[in-house]
């Protein structure tokens, strides 16, 4: 450490690549002392909460899915859940199943994209997936095959993964046919080998992940029936905190921090983490046995406090989603697909929709008037919740690697940011300050 005591480092990454949205890393070390350590969000703000004001109940999910192209299904899910909660709409078992299948699709799609396209290049020492086309054609082919499977799942169920069409409060505007569900099932079965190969690939590369641990509070949605993704009944954390969906603010507390244009979220500690690792740490017991097997193979054990292992948790969730999707297909086929028209009785009230999108907990909170028009809206996006945690990670990470070159430190920081799979273009409107109502 003696050699680093007087070191000065200036990291200034304009637009971290291979993440969704524009974020800058600014780290300033002077004479061995960390002066500045920020992830700045420089994305153009988009004001979704304002845009929702005055909009009808059936438009909310269409508008909010446009918050993020990668978690569009997640936003649509949280949105319909919030509207259904506000109006007391009950949905059928078939709807629940189809929505879960859709979320499994999105989870696979997003995790595969992240692991193969955004994170793997770091571990293989290249700048993007493009060179891999030459050097690792099989890997690229497999990634594309899995991604296509996931996209097609969402496509069949809701028309499109990027901005789903048929998901609406009360159900779906189009019900897939039994043949289509059977087709999904066959496609998943055809991809099982690729899922296994993904586990093997990451298991082989996991040794290259930096050994960086920092204990923090991990937060996730909890569902008594299953590993919560699409929905849950309450919020829990690894510190033992717990609250009902509607009381999410008891845990998801926002604080103003001087240096950042975004508000930071935390509970008891200075920061909190959401996402695949947080879900794993909280709910790993509910994973599909095949996913637990994969976790063992990958050396992932709860509680895991190495942020970089978020990628590993994503792989575990990919396995889980694939196998659970198979189960849901079977359930749907056994029950037979029924034509259902969504039934909605418009009512005034407040509703909260919580869902676990690939990057973590997502909150949609709407208040409707008696015409079904939104009068108040609050959206909290996972990356927003992770910001404080990312910076806390920076603060611990930088001193540990100060002996390295500036380039290595920069790469390490970028990888650290990427490990969160941040979704910056949505995170810019996660603030929750209200002066209205």
Contact set with other proteins (CB under 8 A)? 15, 17-22, 43-51, 53-56, 59, 62-63, 66-70, 72, 113, 117-118, 121, 127-130, 133, 140-141, 144-145, 147-148, 151, 158-163, 165-166, 168, 172-174, 256, 261, 339, 341, 425-426, 429, 431, 433-436
Shortest spacing between CB 27 and other proteins, in angstroms: 19
- Cβ contacts of 224 within 8 Å, gap of 6 or more: 233
Distance of CA 336 to CAs 62, 100, 178, 299, 310, Å?
28, 17, 7, 40, 37
Reported as type and span, the H/E element at residue 425 is: helix 424-427
CA 20, distance to chain mean position in Å, is 12
The distance in angstroms from the start CA to the end CA of the chain is: 55
Beta bridge partners of residue 36, listed in sequence order? 28
Cβ proximity to other proteins, 21 vs 382, nearer residue: 21
Task: Name the residue with tokens 């993020």.
Answer: 68
Angle subtended at Cα 224 by Cα 71 and Cα 284, rounded to the nearest 5 degrees? 65
Count of positions (residues) in the chain: 437
DSSP 8-state symbol, 177:
P
9-13 vs 23-30, strand pairing mode: antiparallel
Cβ proximity to other proteins, 234 vs 429, nearer residue: 429
Shortest spacing between CB 85 and other proteins, in angstroms: 22
Cβ proximity to other proteins, 167 vs 295, nearer residue: 167
Shortest spacing between CB 109 and other proteins, in angstroms: 8
Cβ proximity to other proteins, 32 vs 159, nearer residue: 159
Cβ proximity to other proteins, 45 vs 88, nearer residue: 45
Cβ proximity to other proteins, 57 vs 218, nearer residue: 57
Shortest spacing between CB 431 and other proteins, in angstroms: 6
Distance of CA 280 to CAs 26, 194, 257, 315, Å?
30, 22, 29, 11
The C-alpha torsion from 389 through 251 and 71 to 315, rounded to 10°, is 60
272-273 vs 217-222, strand pairing mode: parallel
* Buried/exposed 76-96: b ≥16 CB within 10 Å, e otherwise: bbbbbbbbbbbbebebbebbe
Task: Name the residue with tokens 């920076």.
Answer: 394
Neighbours of 57 (CB within 10 A): 27
Shortest spacing between CB 174 and other proteins, in angstroms: 4
Task: Name the residue with tokens 């208040």.
Answer: 367
SS3 (DSSP) at 409:
helix
Shortest spacing between CB 97 and other proteins, in angstroms: 18
Cβ proximity to other proteins, 97 vs 290, nearer residue: 97
Shortest spacing between CB 63 and other proteins, in angstroms: 6
Shortest spacing between CB 3 and other proteins, in angstroms: 29
DSSP 8-state symbol, 375:
E
Cβ proximity to other proteins, 235 vs 409, nearer residue: 409
- Cβ contacts of 11 within 8 Å, gap of 6 or more: 25, 26, 27, 28, 406, 409, 410, 413
Shortest spacing between CB 121 and other proteins, in angstroms: 8
- The token pair at 285 is 């017991």
Shortest spacing between CB 32 and other proteins, in angstroms: 29
Shortest spacing between CB 262 and other proteins, in angstroms: 9
Neighbours of 164 (CB within 10 A): 27
Cis bond before residue 303 (omega within 30° of 0):
yes
Shortest spacing between CB 332 and other proteins, in angstroms: 18
């Amino acid at each position: 450490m003696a050699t680093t005591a007087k070191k000065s480092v200036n990291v200034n990454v304009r637009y971290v690549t291979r993440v969704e949205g524009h974020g800058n890393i600014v780290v300033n070390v002077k004479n061995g002392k960390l002066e500045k350590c920020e992830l700045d969000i420089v994305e153009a703000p988009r004001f979704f909460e304002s845009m929702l004001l005055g909009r009808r109940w059936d438009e909310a999910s269409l508008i909010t899915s446009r918050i993020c192209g990668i978690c569009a299904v997640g936003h649509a899910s949280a949105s319909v859940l919030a509207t259904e909660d506000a109006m007391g709409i009950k949905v059928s078992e078939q709807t629940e199943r189809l929505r879960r299948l859709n979320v499994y699709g999105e989870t696979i799609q997003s995790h595969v994209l992240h692991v193969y396209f955004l994170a793997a290049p770091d571990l293989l020492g290249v700048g993007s997936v493009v060179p891999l086309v030459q050097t690792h054609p099989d890997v690229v082919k497999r990634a594309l095959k899995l991604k296509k499977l996931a996209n097609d799942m969402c496509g069949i169920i809701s028309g499109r993964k990027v901005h789903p069409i048929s998901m609406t409060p009360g159900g779906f505007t189009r019900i897939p046919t039994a043949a289509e569900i059977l087709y999904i099932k066959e496609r998943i079965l055809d991809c099982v080998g690729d899922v296994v190969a993904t586990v093997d690939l990451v298991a082989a590369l996991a040794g290259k992940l930096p050994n960086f641990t920092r204990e923090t509070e991990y937060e996730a949605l909890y569902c008594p029936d299953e590993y919560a993704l699409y929905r849950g009944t309450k919020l829990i954390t690894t510190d033992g905190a717990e609250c009902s969906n509607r009381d999410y603010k008891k845990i998801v507390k926002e604080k103003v921090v001087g240096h950042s244009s975004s508000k930071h979220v935390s509970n008891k500690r200075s920061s909190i983490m959401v996402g695949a690792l947080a879900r794993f740490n909280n709910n790993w017991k509910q994973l599909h046995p095949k996913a637990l097997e994969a976790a063992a193979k990958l050396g992932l054990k709860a509680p895991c406090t190495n942020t970089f292992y978020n990628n590993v948790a994503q792989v575990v969730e990919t396995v889980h989603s694939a196998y659970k999707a198979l189960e849901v297909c079977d359930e749907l086929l056994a029950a037979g697909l029924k034509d259902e028209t969504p039934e909605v009785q418009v009512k005034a009230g407040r509703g909260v929709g919580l869902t676990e999108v690939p990057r973590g907990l997502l909150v949609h909170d709407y208040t409707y008037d008696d015409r079904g028009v939104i009068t108040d809206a609050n959206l909290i996006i996972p990356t927003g919740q992770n910001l404080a945690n990312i910076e806390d990670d920076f603060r611990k990470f930088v001193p540990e690697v100060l002996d390295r070159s500036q380039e290595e430190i920069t790469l390490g920081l970028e990888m650290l940011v990427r490990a969160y799979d941040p979704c910056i273009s949505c995170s810019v409107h996660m603030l929750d300050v209200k002066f209205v109502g």
